[in-house]
A and B are shown apart, each in its own frame.
Chain A
Amino acid sequence: MLQSEREKMMTMQEHQTAYVQRASFSREGATVFLGHLDLMTCFERAARRAGLPILYSQGYNPRPMMVFALPLGVGIETRCDYLDVSLKCPYDAEKFTQELNAFLPTGLRIIKSKEIPEPKDSIMSIVTTASYRFEAKGIRDAMEKAMEQESLIVTKMAKGKEKQTDIRPLLISLSQASTGDPDSVDFYAFAGSERNVRPDLILNSLSKYCGMDPKEAENTRVIRLGLFSGEYPRIIPISDVEIR
């Protein structure tokens, strides 16, 4: 085939309707140490093994259409993250969940899925808030101290350069639910494409300003509990967001 013919072929793709499954998932165990790109590949391969009728993007390099609500960093567990999977045809949500779960590596699990109309706003754009749990010795004290600070300046790497940034405004509030245990704390923080704070930066600030042992901070178990849309305190879980 000549180059010109090939280019013609490429522009002649028809539009396909997407039947979107919005699914919540958890991760624990060995898969916690995967980076976000590897995590996405794991889901893609599981969906292919399950033989789900996934819709592919068009163009030179077609990819399965799977969109994750928020990247999940290395070392972070999750109890409830979300992804949208575009399928070629309507699909029973229960069946989707079971079939995908049968082919995911141990540690990754679809909790629940529902079919939604093709969303106008991408799932990434509706995330505003995340809730996390930190587990480490004396973490509650340190976190309470952090909330009392006016600012928490940490160094983060951006485009290969070190950058000073204040993360205090990105911490929203400690959650009431976990009072009692001094070694565990739940909290809300800004998340998403507009304002976002990485848990490892919070832990850095705890050892820097709030008297937490650096080793202890590094060993802290980090669990994402949920992702939400809307403005705190009127936030709703991503799964409950109405599709316009």
Chain B
Amino acid sequence: MKINPVPLSKSDLMSVESPARYVGGEFNAVIKEDMLEELEKTGKTSYVRFAFCFPDIYEIGMSNLALQILYHVLNESDFVACERAFSPWLDMDKILREKNIPLYSQETKTPLCDFDILGFTLGYEMCFTNVLQMMDLGKIPLLQKDRGEDDPVICCGGPVAYNVEPMADFFDIAMMGEGEEMILELSEKIREYKLSKSTDHPMTRQQLLRNCDEIEGIYVPSLYEVSYNYDKTSDKPLGANIRPIEDGIKTTIKKRIIKDLDTCTYPTSPVVSNLRVVHDRSYLEVFRGCIRGCRFCQAGFIYRPVREKSVEVLCEQGRQLEKNTGYDEMGLLSLATSDYTEFPKLAEKLLETFEGHHTSLSLPSLRLDSFSLDLMEKVQSTRKSGLTFAPEAGTQRLRDVINKNIKEEDIFSALRLAFMGGWSTVKLYFMLGLPTETDEDVLGIADLASRIEKLYYDVGRETGQKMRRLEITVSTSLFIPKPFTPFQWEPQNTKEELIRKQKLLKDHIRSRNIRYAWHDFDSSVWEVVLARGDRRLAPVILEGYKAGHFFDAWDDHFRFGEWVEILEKHGLKIEDFAREYSEEEILPWDHVSVGVNKKFLLSERHKAHEETTTPSCREHCSGCGAATFGVGECFAKRNGTCAGASSEEGGAADAAK
């Protein structure tokens, strides 16, 4: 099979920023030449061509672990050839439109419309319009209903796919949960569909979609009809009424998980970009799920239950990754690395493995204590970068509300150690607009920062060390209520209220050692619309895209005012999605089950308002429902396969039954 040349002239490529984004040729990229050659010669065969699409630029997409995992899983199979595609930046977008060149894959430069299936990974809501951009440039009809037998099947996955309703009109299929097994089952259905085309009974696209519904975790939006009722006086149920259009279609879509991460395939030879990308390192995924349960955090609930890989498997994967990629940095990936049960042992073993290799470990999301500080000294060959804390809220009261189980004593004792060790840059992350937040909580942020400043100079006096200039950065983002969290019903503060709180905080930060950085309001407001949105938004998104809105995730390109106009033109308003959702109404995403059940989320919400915390999954099982998957740390504890199991606590055991 001849690999197509890049369908662009040299002057086109030279006229855009980072032309290397558009030419492929990376180490470890997979081109299944034999399969593609046979496909070309014989026409319809049983091979499936999959385009893994990342709806943002190359440098961001190539830093994405889901892409590497699923690319590897698909290409490891003997009947799928998977290639990659990314959103072209505005300069290249313009060239492709002007010259009518279809968006093509990195590997063989095949137009997207020539693939059997396109799989989009949705990591953030603001990428929705880029999905449309890629389909449009790839010469594929945008609306699901307009696509015919020969068009690719368009599917998606990733955390945002759990509430895919705003994009339901565009996708054929959404995959809920971890994709390693599901994506192959789906590809198998596509293969059967393709094979049937050369028989006496060719399958229709509609039949294909019906068949896909049989796969657990797969949601076919077009097989459901929805009506919305927000009139409390009507006898119809309140909220989003979503029903299958026919019998036999599943009423609840339950997310999929991988039960054993040790035996699950993992990309130890990921594609290595030639171009420096956002996170230019290899990734070692340590565990999935989080024991913490911070009430605002979607990841903390949708990835449950906690499943760890063993130290042995991790060390072997780490060794291979380092050798196969040549990266001089490896990131340990999870939601909270310090929560890995055998973290000290893992860190020690990996450092041993990389001894003398000039390979450093990147340890994001580390809880600061004497152990982690010591470890950071060992792993960081470069100068001391900043320390990062995320207290999220300024007062203990509000931290209890959000269940951020971090205590001020812990912050201060860790910082004391850090300051003694010569650290002088501290970043503090907070959220504004959290449920129950008062001005006292906002001012608590400024107070915390100035007490940290005082600590720094106290340490200097006590130890007699020469202290460098202290730099504290206080950074605030805005609270966004997300589906599948205890705060999914909470209202978002109005923009006016948020601006007032921000100004209040800004006025109370007076030290020149403390810098205040804040996040853009507008995009956070729009994000809430998309995150808690429903099918009424599809025409809005479509119209916005057609009016030239994409790369909304890029603050410079996001034009909030115009989006609000389009929203209002369709009879909707920000308030419809930023309001407090009532506990009685059916939420637009209630037909999806992530394991953690609504009853638990609701009880967590009530506890939040009572300012009561919930212990971590490791301390005590709170019966969230995730044990229904029959695996995970909590489940093992319940069933006595793990030390410290006790019988009196209900929770997970009940949920598992």
Contacts and interface: CB of A to CB of B under 8 A. Distances in A.
A6 B632 CA distance: 42
A219 B11 contact: yes
Contact of A215 (B11, B26, B275, B323): B11
A105 B323 contact: no
Given A31-B25, A74-B19, A75-B10, A6 B326 contact: no
A2 B27 contact: no
Interface stretch (B66-74, B377-385, B480-488, B592-600): B377-385
Nearest to B322: A48
Given A2-B421, A49-B326, A34 B14 contact: no
Nearest to A214: B11
A106 B13 CA distance: 19
Contact of B272 (A45, A47, A218): A45
B447 interface: no
Contacts of B9: 219
Contacts, number: 93
Contact of B274 (A1, A56, A105): A105
Report which residue of A6, A45, A51, A107 has the largest number of chain B beta carbons within 10 angstroms of its beta carbon. Answer: A45
Contacts of B383: 60-61
B324 interface: yes
A149 interface: no
B25 A29 contact: yes
Contacts of A61: 381-383
Contacts of B275: 34, 38
Contact of A48 (B25, B326, B377): B326
Contacts of A215: 11
B454 interface: no
B632 to A, nearest CB: 36
Interface in B293-346: 323-328
B374 to A, nearest CB: 8
B27 A6 contact: no
Contacts of A38: 20, 274-276
Contacts of B546: none
Contacts of A106: 25
A10 to B, nearest CB: 10
The number of chain A residues touching the other chain, given as a range, is: 35 or more
B465 interface: yes
Contacts of A103: 27, 326
Interface string A38-54: 10011011111101000
B63 to A, nearest CB: 15
A201 B276 CA distance: 26
Contact of B325 (A35, A45, A220): A45
B95 interface: no
A215 B14 CA distance: 11
B329 to A, nearest CB: 11
Given A47-B326, A49-B326, A34 B421 contact: no
Interface in B404-442: 420-422
B24 interface: yes
Contacts of A6: 377, 422
B559 interface: no
B26 A105 contact: yes
Given A38-B275, A41-B276, A60 B382 contact: yes
A190 B13 CA distance: 27
B23 interface: yes
A46 B27 CA distance: 9
Nearest to B328: A48
Interface string A203-226: 000000000000100111100000
B10 A221 contact: yes
A30 B10 contact: no
A1 B421 contact: yes
A180 interface: no
Interface in B1-37: 6, 9-11, 13-15, 19-20, 22-27
Report which residue of B326, B357, B421 has the largest number of chain A beta carbons within 10 angstroms of its beta carbon. Answer: B326
A215 B15 CA distance: 11
Contacts of A44: 326, 328
A62 B177 CA distance: 41
B61 to A, nearest CB: 17
A31 B610 CA distance: 60
A37 B324 contact: no
Interface in A86-103: 103
A62 B358 contact: yes
Contacts of A105: 25-27, 272, 274
Decide if the interface of chain B is mainly helix, strand, loop or mixed. loop
Contacts of B10: 75, 218-221
A46 B422 CA distance: 36
Contacts of A176: none
Given A105-B27, A106-B25, A74 B14 contact: yes
Contacts of B324: 49
Given A33-B13, A61-B381, A218-B10, A3 B25 contact: no
A218 B377 CA distance: 50
Interface string A59-76: 011101000000000110
A31 B381 contact: no
Contact of B420 (A2, A56, A219, A220): A2
Nearest to A200: B14
Report which residue of B6, B27, B323, B383 has the largest number of chain A beta carbons within 10 angstroms of its beta carbon. Answer: B27
Contacts of B272: 45, 105
A62 B274 CA distance: 21
A35 B274 CA distance: 10
Contacts of A37: 276
B274 A31 contact: yes
Contacts of B25: 29-31, 105-107
Nearest to A217: B11
Report which residue of A30, A47, A60 has the largest number of chain B beta carbons within 10 angstroms of its beta carbon. Answer: A30
A219 B11 CA distance: 5
A21 to B, nearest CB: 17
Interface in A12-45: 29-31, 33-35, 37-38, 41-42, 44-45
Nearest to B24: A30
Interface in A73-132: 74-75, 103-107
A35 B15 CA distance: 14
Contacts of B358: 56, 62, 64
Nearest to B465: A3
Contacts of A46: 27, 326
A37 B374 CA distance: 33
A49 B320 CA distance: 10
Nearest to B6: A30
B325 A49 contact: yes
A110 B109 CA distance: 27
A6 B380 CA distance: 12
A51 B272 CA distance: 16
B22 to A, nearest CB: 8
Report which residue of A3, A35, A38, A104 has the largest number of chain B beta carbons within 10 angstroms of its beta carbon. Answer: A3
A29 B19 CA distance: 12
A34 B272 CA distance: 14
Nearest to B273: A38
B381 A62 contact: yes
Nearest to A62: B358
Query: Can you list the 7 inter-chain pairs with the closest CB atoms, starting with the nearest?
Result: A30-B25, A3-B422, A45-B326, A218-B11, A48-B326, A49-B326, A30-B23
Given A33-B23, A34-B20, 12 more contacts: A3-B421, A33-B20, A38-B20, A38-B274, A45-B27, A61-B383, A74-B19, A105-B26, A105-B27, A106-B25, A215-B11, A218-B10
13 contacts: A29-B25, A33-B20, A34-B274, A35-B20, A45-B27, A46-B27, A48-B327, A49-B324, A56-B358, A60-B382, A74-B19, A75-B10, A75-B13
Interface of B: 6, 9-11, 13-15, 19-20, 22-27, 272, 274-276, 323-328, 357-358, 374, 377, 381-383, 420-422, 465
